[in-house]
Structure 1
Amino acid sequence: VENTRVVYFSITPTMSVCRSCGWSSVGTHWSCPKCGSETQVWSRIVGYYRPVSSWNIGKKAEFRMRKTYRV
């Protein structure tokens, strides 16, 4: 980070929750590995955690472009 022009970065865990069976996990999982239902993926947007499905088109596009790293 010292040798870059990055002015801001954040550590934002994304969470996935199955509303059918209650399964949850850290990470982006669009379908539940336990029951196969669609999950609700949560991440931070403008400082607050919200379901990605409720974001506007532009923010959804930004979400798809995010880089993820294991820390």
Structure 2
Amino acid sequence: MGLYLSRQGALIDWSVTDFLALLGTPLDLTALRAACQHALTDGEAGQPPPPAAPQHPLPRPGNTPGMQETLFDEMD
């Protein structure tokens, strides 16, 4: 995977394994290809992806400011 910055004349590239790790996917390229094939053929070919791990929201740090209900509310 690569990104070319034409104004700077720089190429930034990653191996497929590194790029998938940066995206946070736990699957390898072979499993992703099989899941893509499964999705594009309405389940007639390939393998469905494994169920996603449950996501748990991160707790808010204790030193964060109060939350606004809307953009135009006053802060406490």
Greater share of helix residues, 1 or 2? 2
Structure exhibiting the larger radius of gyration computed from Cα positions: 2
* TM bracket, shorter-chain basis: under 0.3
Greater share of strand residues, 1 or 2? 1
TM-score between the two structures when normalised by the length of structure 2: 0.20
Q: Which fold has the larger relative contact order, with Cα–Cα distance below 8 Å and residues 6 or more apart in sequence?
A: 1
TM-score between the two structures when normalised by the length of structure 1: 0.20
